[in-house]
Amino acid sequence: MDEIKITPLGTVSPYCKGNMNCPGFFVENNHNKILLDCGNGIIRYLNLVKDLNNLTIIISHLHKDHYGDLLNIAQTSYVLKRLGYLQEKIKVYIPKGDKISVKEDYKDNDGWETTKTVRKNLIDFDYIMDLSKVGYLEIIPYDNNSRLKFSDMKLSFSKNPHQIITYSTKLETEELKLVYSSDTGYYGNSLEAFAKDANLLICESTFLRGQIKSEDSHLFAYEAGLIAKNANVEKLLLTHFWPEIDKQNYVDEAKEYFDNVEAAIEGKVLRLKK
């Protein structure tokens, strides 16, 4: 029997509240353990000695609410390695090549102060790459064309419309398909094709109808429902909620387009089986 076990570790953004953490989903299949995003607070739900062994972490993008607990993971891995509990480095995949335009002050040849626009790595990229010096980690940049394989599980990626380079992740076994959207706008995203016929779509639902988007970089809950419907997925699991709002409000809105939907809850396990 093929089975994928999914444990939500974090479901809210941009900050933790009570038992709710920033984004993170722990996926298990046979001996594979994959952590999709590593937001603030998620380490509270991990069995650190057991879960950090043979672990792969996929960071969807370099916003701090999606990688905030990596420092805790790095420091813990260092200690566990020193104590003999961790045999192999934790692999951490992060988007590569993400640069931003910034203006810098400088003096020209005549001594006049002026500015110029330069392209630089996100400071987050350099920060995470340096975590390999802090912990027992191997940091590996990936892009839209990267393909990963862990025994009988395959991973692929699809770029999203967001403020910085962001990827959805698809995990496939011979019989099961799971897609994690991460952060994405509605117009121009590829989720309907990327998640086609998936057993489970874990989809962000940052906004509720009536709230105002300053830009199309996140989804309304009803847009998540519409994507699930058009992608013909079996089940929709909503995430990326505002911490102060009852999650049921997001479920109710998504159900306007898709019936088999629920809200992700920290520690509530889902199992996909074939």
Print the domain residue range for 30. 3-273
Dihedral over Cα of 58, 128, 21, 89: its sign: positive
The CB-side HSE value for 223 (13 A sphere, CA atoms) comes to 22
Compute the average pLDDT of residues 38-56: 96
How far is Cα 86 from Cα 49, in angstroms, rounded to an integer? 7
Question: What pLDDT band is residue 192 in, cutting at 50, 70 and 90?
Answer: very high
Q: Count the domains in the chain.
A: 1
Instruction: Note whether 181 and 221 are within 8 A (CB).
Output: no
Task: Name 91's bridge partners.
Answer: 56, 138
Question: What pLDDT band is residue 195 in, cutting at 50, 70 and 90?
Answer: very high
Q: What angle do CA 145, 149, 150 make, to 5 degrees?
A: 150
How far is Cα 259 from Cα 29, in angstroms, rounded to an integer? 27
Compute the average pLDDT of residues 89-113: 80
- Which two structure tokens, joined as six digits, stand for 270? 């889902």
What confidence tens digit (pLDDT) does each residue in 200-243 have? 999 999 999 999 999 999 999 999 999 999 999 999 999 999 99
- Which two structure tokens, joined as six digits, stand for 169? 């992740």
Predicted local confidence at residue 113, as pLDDT: 78
Q: What is the CATH number of the domain that holds 262?
A: 3.60.15.10
Q: Over pLDDT 90: what percentage of the chain?
A: 86
Which of 161, 170, 221 has the alpha carbon at shortest distance from 198? Answer: 170
How far is Cα 114 from Cα 38, in angstroms, rounded to an integer? 40
CA distance between the termini of the chain? 6
How far is Cα 42 from Cα 48, in angstroms, rounded to an integer? 11
Compute the average pLDDT of residues 45-57: 95
Question: What pLDDT band is residue 114 in, cutting at 50, 70 and 90?
Answer: confident
| pLDDT at 97 > cutoff 80 | no
Going from the C-alpha of 50 to that of each of 16, 45, 114, 169, 234, the distances in angstroms are 24, 12, 55, 24, 31
Question: What pLDDT band is residue 87 in, cutting at 50, 70 and 90?
Answer: very high
Task: Name 106's bridge partners.
Answer: 114
* pTM of the entire predicted model: 0.92
